[in-house]
């Protein structure tokens, strides 16, 4: 079976940094990287080439990485978005997650961590720096309200939610439930809408705060 290659769009206005990331990912057998130097070019490339994932700097001129994340997630074939930032603070993490990003990682992270974040996100998982998820929990709604909202989920959606909380990505959940990854993606989108969330990371945070525990 041929190796599945992830089409990755790298967006960063610092040309040397962008080219360095492109070279690193190109040296890996499971990545097919391309680059864009600004938000306008990124949207054009994403629309035409339909990348599986986008890795971008949160600080871009004219359009922030957070606004660009929102635009990318509204495309007909939206890529997963992993945001790079020099400031891995809680406020930025909340903004990134609510914009729809699947991953958030500091520029100070190792190359291996950045590649792992992209791989996890491309498989339907999520990536946050260690220790940030717990801090995020305090910023969401009261547990009683969240438990009431979880009651809106169907039995299958609750099953998918439990597996998400356990750390499974979309492909592993699909295998566990004998469903297609696209079907699982639909369950996750439905849960995101019902819970008033903007991303799967936020869904997991809400579930944990409401008392859902890993299966």
Task: Output the CA angle 84-121-3, nearest 5 degrees.
Answer: 120
pLDDT band at 140 (very low <50, low <70, confident <90, very high): low
Question: What band does 96 get if pLDDT is binned at 50, 70 and 90?
Answer: confident
Instruction: Give yes or no: residues 90 and 19 share one domain.
Output: yes
Residues 36 and 124 grouped into a single domain: yes
Total tally of structural domains belonging to the chain = 2
**Element containing residue 105 per DSSP (H, E):** strand 103-106
| pLDDT digit string, tens, across residues 152-177 | 899 999 999 888 888 788 888 888 89
Write the DSSP symbol of residue 4.
Answer: P
Can you tell me the distance from the alpha carbon of 124 to that of 95, in angstroms, rounded to the nearest whole number? 20
Nearest-CA neighbor of 32 among 54, 11, 5? 5
- In terms of residue numbers, what domain contains 66? 6-134
Question: For residue 201, what is the domain's CATH number?
Answer: 1.10.10.10
In this prediction, residue 3 carries a pLDDT of 62
What pLDDT does 1 receive?
Answer: 46
Question: Do 79 and 175 share a structural domain?
Answer: no
Do 126 and 82 touch, CB atoms closer than 8 A?
A: no
pTM (two decimals): 0.71
- pLDDT value, residue 139: 56
| Domain end (from 86, 101, 134) | 134
Q: At 99, give phi and psi (nearest 5°).
A: -80, -15
- Of 87, 103, 134, the last residue of a domain is 134
Inform me whether the pLDDT recorded for 41 exceeds 60. yes
Q: Are residues 146 and 183 in the same domain?
A: yes
Ordered DSSP codes for 128-185: --TTHHHHHHTTS--HHHHHHHHTTS-HHHHHHHHHHHTT--HHHHHHHHT--HHHHH
Q: Are residues 119 and 166 in the same domain?
A: no
Whether residue 16 is found in the same domain as residue 52: yes
Instruction: Please check the confidence at residue 134 and state whether its pLDDT lies above 70.
Output: no
Instruction: Write the CATH number for 56.
Output: 3.40.50.2300
């Amino acid at each position: 079976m041929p190796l599945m290659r992830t089409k990755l769009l790298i967006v960063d206005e610092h040309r040397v940094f962008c080219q360095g990331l492109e070279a690193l990912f190109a040296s890996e057998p499971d990545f097919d990287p391309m680059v864009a130097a600004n938000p306008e070019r990124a949207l054009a490339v994403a629309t035409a080439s339909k990348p599986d994932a986008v890795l971008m700097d949160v600080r871009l001129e004219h359009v922030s990485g957070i606004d660009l994340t929102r635009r990318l997630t509204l495309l007909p074939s939206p890529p997963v978005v992993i945001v790079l930032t020099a400031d891995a603070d809680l406020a930025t993490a909340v903004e990134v997650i609510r914009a729809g990003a699947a991953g958030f990682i500091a520029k100070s992270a190792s190359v291996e961590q950045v590649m792992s974040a992209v791989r996890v996100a491309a498989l339907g998982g999520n990536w946050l720096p260690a220790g940030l998820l717990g801090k995020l929990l305090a910023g969401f709604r009261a547990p009683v309200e969240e438990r009431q909202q979880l009651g809106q989920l169907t039995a299958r959606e609750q099953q998918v939610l439990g597996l998400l909380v356990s750390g499974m990505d979309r492909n592993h959940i699909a295998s566990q439930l004998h469903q297609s990854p696209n079907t699982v993606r639909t369950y996750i989108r439905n849960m995101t809408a019902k819970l008033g969330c903007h991303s799967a990371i936020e869904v997991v945070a809400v579930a944990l705060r409401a008392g859902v525990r890993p299966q």
